Amino acid sequence: MKKAYVFPGQGAQFVGMGKDLYDGNKQCRDMFETANDIIGFRITDLMFAGTPEDLKQTKVTQPAIFLHSTILAAYMGESFQPDMVGGHSLGEFSALVAAKAMSFEDGLRLVIARANAMQKCCEAHPSTMAAVLKLDDKTVEDICASITGEVVVAANYNCPGQLVISGTVEGVNQACEKVKEAKGRALPLAVGGAFHSPLMEPARVELSAAIEKTSFHQPICPCYQNVCALPVTNPDEIKANLNKQLTAPVRWTATVQNMLKDGAEEFIEVGPGTALQGMIKRVDANANAHSAVIQ
């Protein structure tokens, strides 16, 4: 049975995440402590006993989800036998580490650089995102294209009937009004910036410098990357795709479709939450999707 391991992105965090791994396994505890040292503050204190507000800070959220996902994959040991991996936005970094395309420490440093660059970009240019439901992708794309004088683009193709748009506050507001006119639903998201849009270009440039200094290796299985939704194993190609990720859309629907086409029979979500399982079942109602289990 071909197994696809998938890794969640921002929004999956919850207070207490990872504490069972820390308390129950020395290897996991050591990895968390290594992360505390690299980050420069005890992120574990915020993960295990902080507040939801603490965890919403981008500089905390992204490393926290990455740590929960990658340490859970390490905890699984020899039972972690992926035929393919993929991750949603931030989750792509977790997937690449789990598939040994880069080291845990290098992956964490990139996630820290990514979070800090995105935070700066959000503070310099206030912007936002909104989820659009009940409309097909083409209709939403056309609505975005019809907005002039503002930036608004399709950012996350999550599953059929669910697409996230991203851009300037005014651009997203105008698009949301047109979504309602088209009989769709528009839900503003509580995010600090226009992720996966051209407004993230300064963050992309900053992260790109860190990516170029990072060593990438041949992964143990194909990695389905956000910008192309295709399986990639060449380290140079992985790096090139990662360089484009912050300003390109997350093609999650196509990723799941391509994994299914390539023989995926079981999807295992590694990390906090169950959001990806819901999306996968919206792509294929018969898909076998579940969370990784901690024994």
Are both 88 and 11 inside the same structural domain? yes
Residue ranges of E strands in 31-99: 84-87
- Give Cα 293 distance to the centre of its chain: 20
Tens place of pLDDT per residue across the chain (295 aa): 899 999 999 989 999 999 999 999 999 999 999 999 999 999 999 999 999 999 988 889 999 999 999 999 999 999 999 999 999 999 999 999 999 999 999 999 999 999 999 999 988 888 999 999 999 999 999 999 999 999 999 999 999 999 999 999 999 999 999 999 999 999 999 787 999 999 999 999 999 999 999 999 999 999 999 999 999 999 999 999 999 999 999 999 999 999 999 999 999 999 999 999 999 999 999 999 999 987 6
Q: Are 137 and 268 in a shared domain? A: no
Range of the domain at 210: 3-123+198-291
In a domain, 91, yes or no: yes
Same domain, 109 and 239: yes
Tally helices (H) and strands (E) across the chain.
Answer: 13, 10
Statement to judge: residues 41 and 119 lie in one domain? yes
Kindly state whether residue 160 falls inside one of the protein's structural domains: yes
Residue 254: give its domain's CATH number: 3.40.366.10
Q: Are residues 169 and 208 in the same domain?
A: no
Residue 58, pLDDT score: 86
At 250 the pLDDT is 98
Are residues 116 and 142 part of one domain?
no
Angle at 136 between CA 133 and CA 137, to 5 degrees: 100
Cβ neighbours of residue 210 closer than 8 Å, sequence gap 6 or more: 109, 110, 113, 114
Please tell me whether residues 108 and 232 are part of one structural domain: yes
Asked whether residue 193 is domain-assigned, the answer is no
Q: Which of 140, 164, 188 is the last residue of a domain?
A: 188
67 and 7 both lie in a single domain? yes
Q: What is the pTM of this model?
A: 0.97
The confidence score (pLDDT) of residue 295 equals: 65
Q: Is residue 25 part of a domain?
A: yes
Q: Pick from 167, 188, 209: which residue ends a domain? A: 188
Residue 244 sits in the same domain as residue 131: no
Q: Residue 57's pLDDT is what? A: 85
pLDDT at 163: 97
Looking at residue 125, what is its pLDDT?
A: 85
Same domain, 60 and 152: no
Domain final position from 139, 168, 188: 188
Tell whether 32 and 158 lie within a shared domain.
Answer: no
Taken in order 228, 271, 219, 81, the sign of the CA dihedral is: negative
**What whole-number distance in Å separates Cα of residue 99 and Cα of residue 225?**
12
Kindly state whether residue 47 falls inside one of the protein's structural domains: yes
Please enumerate in sequence order all residues whose Cβ is within 8 A of that of 290, keeping only pairs 6 or more positions apart, or say none.
Answer: 266, 267, 268, 269, 277
- Catalytic (active-site) positions: 89, 196
Instruction: Answer yes or no: do 209 and 278 share one domain.
Output: yes
**Total domain count, the chain:** 2
CATH number for the domain including 165? Answer: 3.30.70.250
Please check whether residue 285 lies inside any domain of the structure. yes
- Classify residue 17: in a domain, yes or no: yes
Q: Does residue 75 sit within a domain?
A: yes
Q: How far apart are CA 69 and CA 41, in angstroms?
A: 19
Beta strands at 152-159 and 162-168: parallel, antiparallel or unpaired: antiparallel
